[in-house]
Amino acid sequence: MNIAILTNTFTPHVGGVARSVEAFAKAYQELGHRVLVVAPEFEDAPEHETDVFRIPAIQHFNGSDFSVVLPIPSGLYDKMDEFNPDIIHSQHPFLLGMTAVRIARTLDLPLVFTHHTLYEQYTHYVPGDSPTMKRFIIELSTRYANLADQVFAPSESLRDMLIERGVTSPVLVVPTGVSVERFAYGKGSDFLMKKQIPEDAFVVGHMGRLAPEKNLEFLARSVLAFMKEHGEAVFLLVGAGPSQETIEQLFAEAGMSDRLYMCGVLEKDDLADALNAMSVFAFASKSETQGMVLTEAMAAGLPVVALDAPGVREVLVDASNGRLLRVETEETFAAALQWVHARSSDERAALIAAARTTAEAFSMAASARKALAAYENLQPDPATRHHEDELGWDQIRARIYAEWDILKTVAQAGDEALSESFSVSDEEVKE
């Protein structure tokens, strides 16, 4: 099968979607399928890539580490003709997501959409952020999902939310799996020595993009509250992003800059080594829709402390493989870290074993096979294919229909958001 994946984020960008696309593409190829990833240009991207088509893009959109593709992807249709895809798989409801709709309609191919995240929690990157903008994003992503033949949700929580919001296309839970062997055998002691972290330190760790939507200021304050009571504790951060300065400032104000270790972006063996150097994994994001980063940490044998949120509650069992917190206060989070710290050696071994068992249940191979089975079910009957002399006109007509679908989707999302905004305003006036 030839699978075309269109994504707004891809390596070397650091983030869950980029890692998910990379992981699925690799798994599909290992199972004998061809994959073409269509993604924006990013700074420091490899000069020579196979099975990747890069779209010119504006870098660092609105001060973020995202790239925004230019509106006309030059040469993309020629590339698609050459690749001859069987499936178009979109990873976003906007930018290249709209391009995915055009391609799927033009080539009369099934469109699959993975609803990765709660997009309304990212509107601070857009000028004019407001409650109306958030409602527009919710409506847009919901209506976009209904343009797809199949929707993938990374977790049961998100599937239920999408259906509640009005998604009528079939929704299948397909989490991004974890390559357990990749993270299970890191050299934690070597990493501690390299970073000059005391071998007996209690290492609170975190991995991911350092951005406001990850709730990192709350996380940093909570970790500081714990560290004030434990002089041997340090905070190890793997990742980069706009929130790095805020975290550094908080630790400086607390007089603990020497106990903060910022490692930047790490890959492959270095990443596995860093995870194995940690004592507990701390996570406060509520914008995730799957527990991918948590299962990666658990593959390294780490108990996790995290806030209850979609995607998190599917992998974290309170007091079994970590602590799942339903109350969001710095005191509660610090107390949960203290709970892990206070475990006896036998109790800690049980936490580690439970974490590894959870990771095994979310293997990448199983997720890839589930996705491929869904692709197969969407394959059209060859008998319904058009004759070659009809193809040109059919493609032109399909492009027109695609543009109409896109315009209608955006317009209806805007109408719904504005209608709700005016409704709220009327009620406020009555009060």
Q: Specify the pLDDT at position 157.
A: 86
CA–CA gap between residue 145 and residue 152 (Å, rounded): 9
**Residue 57, φ and ψ in degrees, nearest 5:** -150, 155
Tokens, residue 405: 């679908």
State the sign of the Cα–Cα–Cα–Cα dihedral 254, 330, 158, 412: negative
Check the CA dihedral 12-17-23-24 and report its sign.
Answer: negative
Backbone angles phi, psi at 268, to 5 degrees: 50, -125
- State how far the Cα of 109 lies from the Cα of 102, in Å rounded to an integer: 10
Cβ–Cβ under 8 Å, residues 289 and 116: yes
d(CA 156, CA 173): 6
427 is written with which tokens? 């009620």
The CA–CA distances, whole Å, from 245 to 195, 221, 251 equal 20, 14, 10
Q: Which residue has the tokens 């509640």?
A: 164
**Domain architecture of the chain: domains with CATH:** 2-177+365-425 (3.40.50.2000), 180-362 (3.40.50.2000)
Would you place residue 411 in the very low, low, confident or very high pLDDT band (cuts 50, 70, 90)? Answer: low
Q: pLDDT at position 418, please?
A: 58
Q: CA separation (Å) from 180 to 189, 317, 365? A: 20, 19, 10
Q: Quick check: helix, strand or coil at residue 9? A: coil
> Looking at residues 276-300, what average pLDDT do you find?
91
Confidence of residue 117 (pLDDT cuts 50, 70, 90): confident
Q: How far apart are CA 214 and CA 238, in angstroms?
A: 13
CB 248 within 8 A of CB 257: yes
- Read off the pLDDT of residues 249-280 as tens digits, 9 standing for 90 and up: 999 999 999 999 999 999 889 999 999 999 99
Q: Token digits for 69?
A: 């593709």
Coil vs helix vs strand at 197: coil
Q: 10 Å Cβ neighbour count for 382?
A: 6
Instruction: Quick: pLDDT tens for 195-219.
Output: 999 999 999 999 998 988 899 999 9
pTM of the model: 0.72
Lowest mean pLDDT of 29-33, 102-106, 259-263, 289-293, name the range.
Answer: 289-293
Phi, psi of 205 (to 5 degrees): -120, 160
Q: How far apart are CA 419 and CA 406, in angstroms?
A: 20
Window from 64-78, 112-126, 382-396 with minimum mean pLDDT: 382-396
Of all residues in the chain, the percent with pLDDT exceeding 70 is 80
